[in-house]
Structures are given as structure tokens and as C-alpha cells.
Amino acid sequence: MSARSPHRIRLHSQWLVLFDNLLVITGFYLVFPMITVHFVENLGWSATLVSTGLALRSLTQQGLGLFGGAMADRWGSKPLIAAGLATRAASFLVLAEANSMAGLLLSCVIAGIGGALFDAPKTATIVKLTRPAERARYYALLGMLGTLCASGGAALGSWLLHWDFRWVAYAGAVSFGLASLVTLRFLPAFRVGVRQDNLFHGLRTAWQDKPYARFVLATAGYWLMWLQVMSTLPMLISRISGKTHVAWLYTLEMVLTLCVQYPLARWLAGRWRCEARLITGMSLMVLGLLLVGMANDNLTLWPALTLFLLGIVLGDPALQEAGASRIDARMRGSYLGLASLGMALAGSIGYIASGWLYEHALRWGLPALGWVVIALTGFLTLLLMYQVCYPMSRATLQATASRL
């Protein structure tokens, strides 16, 4: 086997994407959890307004991600990933100097554009580089190492925040800038799909794939619950446990990932379907959020957070694997671009709604209200996800209806 055989190039690229992903996650968790802490807790801005900025970033990224995936099918993933990472780095430089709502919104829009350029192409590259039999373990490895970087990034961000928020943003910019340079220099120019003459052809095909479209819609509930890690949970922990304890959330996630995610993925390979793991993970997230709503001290808060994070640890790689198994290999970028629609729905509505609910529920003396609403929404999409993953045949539906 030659030194530059396709197999060796594929394995080398897997490790390169893994390293790239670690830089991205470090930079992300360095900055975004600290935005709510800095602007809401330190500067006294409205949680609803700050959540609007975060929602704008999510809506821009996931909404435009449709086109990022389609462009990757047409032009390849490498230039889009490198440009997107550089754009995200630039957004953090803008954020460092933001002292008004307009500055925060501008940085969030630029960050969203950067994410739209690199997110779907990066995910499509991962699907391209991994075989179905090894995909579950690779996603689990991504999750395990990513959680280490998330914990380290959040801890570093929390420490830098004591000095100056600008250092938080500068550190995030360095992380994304380095990832862009690594991608530009070392990632081979892979094609992740068949070139389409019409940019919208792949998107139309993905949208007309009704089982996949329903799956994407059901993922909105997962992302709505997941994004609380970025928005309201840091504020809740800061209120109950203190600002210095926010990083503990990501440390706890790291411990659970190391102890559960990758070992479980290796042991359960071929034993427990990804759909069943996803349903179980979402169920734990719903239950965890309900218990978070009842928490009023550390003794009740952290066990609830543990249950919620266990659901993420179990559900995240399962969601990636379930999505990857449903795409058309000829249009990976377009399918994975459409997958961003679920996160776009959750982000655009979820950030604003959860921030508004958190703020007003405290004013009304009903601190559990927001968590109950989010958990109920998650439960409804859990039912939809179950229907998507385990569809009943027409004969079964008729037999069931005849017994009613």
C-alpha cells in the first residue's frame, strides 16, 4: 500500500477534521456561554435582548446553512470551511469592541454567516470520510474530545472574563483563525457530492424526501432543549450557584462524555440502534429540564443538570448517525444543509422565547414556568421523532384504527 493511498488519505483527513473540530469547539465555548454572563449579569442588559442577538446568530447560520451545503456540493467543502472559519474569527473581533446592542447584533450576524459557510460542508466532509460501520465510534470520539475542549474553553473563558471580556473574544478569534489556516493548508479538496448545474436542485430533492424532511423537523425539539446550555442554563447557574460555577456545567458534561459516550458507542456498536439511543437521550433531556425547573439550590440543581446532560451525551452522536444514514450520498451537502433547518427553527424561536420566559417567569414568581414550557415542547417533538424513527405501516394503522 502506497504512502498516499486513498485509504491513508482518508484516515489522515479524519484526524485533521477531528483536530479542526476541536479548535472550533474550543473557540465556540470560549465565547458564547460568556455572552449571556457578561452582557446580562455584568452589564445588566435585558436577557431578552441578549437572547435576541444569540437567536439572530443561530437563525443566520442555520437559515443560510441551506445554501452552504448546496455550495459544497457544487464547489467542494474546503474553500467554504476555510472562509467560514475566518469569518467567525472576524465576528469575535467585532464582538470584542461591542458596547451597544447594535454592535452585539452585528457580531452575531457575522458569526452566523461564518457558521453557515463552514457547518454543513464540515459535516458533509465527515460523512464522506467515514464508513457506516465506523461512523458511530467516530461521532462518539468527536463528542468525547469535543466535550473536553468545550469544558476547557468554558473554563478559560470564565477565567478571562474576570480580566476583560475583550480577552475572551480575542481568544475565540485566535482559535477559529488557526482552524481556518489548518484547513486551508492541510485539508484535501474533497468533493462531497455530485456537481449540480442548478444550486437549488439538491435542496429541492432533499426537501421532497418527505421522511428526511420530517426527521429534520423533529430535530427542532432536540436543538431547542440543547441550546439552553448556551442561553438560560448559564444564567440559572450564575443565579443559584454563582458566576464562577458556570464552567462546572461543561466540566460535568466532559466527565459524563468520558465515562459514558465513547465507551458506550464502542460497546453498543450493532447492539442498540441509533434511533433508540436518540429517543432515550431526548427523554432524559425532557425529564432533566422538568427537574431543573424545580431546583432552588445546589442540591437539587446539579442532579437535574446531570440527567439533562446525560441525555445530550447519549443523544448527540445518535442524532448525527441517524441523520447521516438518511441522506443521499450524491447530495451530501444539500441534505446536511437542509438538516440545519431544524436548528434554525429552534434557534430563532428558542433563544428569544427561552430568554423572555426566563426573565418574566422570575418577575412573576414562577421560576419553573420557562423550563416546563421548553420540556413540554421537547416532549411533543419527541413523539414526532418516535413516529419518524418507527413509522407504522398502513396495514398496522388500519388494524389499530379498527380496534378503536
Q: Which three cell numbers stand for residue 43?
A: 452589564
Most confident of 22-26, 66-70, 142-146, 253-257: 22-26
- What's the residue count for the chain? 404
Contact 323, 223 (CB under 8 A): no
* 389 vs 349, more confident: 389
Q: Which CATH superfamily is 6-187+200-391 part of?
A: MFS general substrate transporter like domains (1.20.1250.20)
Report the 10 Å Cβ neighbour count for 365: 7
| pLDDT of res. 180 | 95
CA nearest neighbour of 108 among 33, 52, 36: 52
Exposed, middle or buried: residue 206 (CB in 10 Å: 0-12, 13-18, 19+)? Answer: buried
| pLDDT of res. 4 | 61
Which sequence spans correspond to the domains of the chain?
6-187+200-391
At residue 331, the 3 state secondary structure works out as strand
Instruction: Quote the CA–CA distance of 172 and 160 in Å, as a whole number.
Output: 11
Cβ-based neighbours of 358, under 8 Å, separated by 6 or more: 47, 232, 235, 236, 370
| pLDDT of res. 233 | 86
Exposed, middle or buried: residue 280 (CB in 10 Å: 0-12, 13-18, 19+)? Answer: middle
Instruction: Quote the CA–CA distance of 194 and 329 in Å, as a whole number.
Output: 9
| pLDDT tens-digit series, residues 270-320 | 667 878 888 999 999 999 999 998 888 888 899 999 999 999 988 888 888
Q: Which helix (H) or strand (E) holds 217?
A: helix 210-226
Instruction: Quote the CA–CA distance of 245 and 239 in Å, as a whole number.
Output: 10
| pLDDT tens-digit series, residues 68-120 | 777 877 778 888 999 999 999 999 999 998 888 888 999 999 999 999 888 87
| pLDDT of res. 350 | 73
Cα separations in angstroms, 374 against 102, 178, 179, 211, 220? 28, 36, 34, 25, 12
At residue 131, the 3 state secondary structure works out as coil
At residue 327, the 3 state secondary structure works out as coil
Contact 169, 156 (CB under 8 A): no
Mean pLDDT over each residue of the chain, to the nearest integer: 81
Instruction: Quote the CA–CA distance of 250 and 258 in Å, as a whole number.
Output: 12
| pLDDT tens-digit series, residues 176-209 | 999 999 998 888 877 665 555 556 666 677 777 7
| pLDDT of res. 395 | 46
- In eight-state DSSP terms, residue 368 is T
Report the pLDDT averaged over residues 18-29.
91
At residue 263, the 3 state secondary structure works out as helix
Instruction: Quote the CA–CA distance of 385 and 382 in Å, as a whole number.
Output: 5
| pLDDT of res. 195 | 57
If you count DSSP H runs as helices and E runs as strands, how many of each does the chain have, helices first? 16, 0
pTM exceeding the 0.85 threshold for the entire prediction: no
| pLDDT tens-digit series, residues 34-47 | 887 888 777 778 87
Region of 91 please: left (phi>0), alpha (psi -120 to 50) or beta: alpha
CA nearest neighbour of 239 among 372, 148, 361, 147: 361
- In eight-state DSSP terms, residue 98 is -
Residue by residue, what is the 3-state secondary structure of 171-214? Answer: HHHHHHHHHHHHHHHHCCCCCCECCCCCCCHHHHHHHHCHHHHH
Report the 10 Å Cβ neighbour count for 296: 11
Instruction: Quote the CA–CA distance of 132 and 51 in Å, as a whole number.
Output: 38
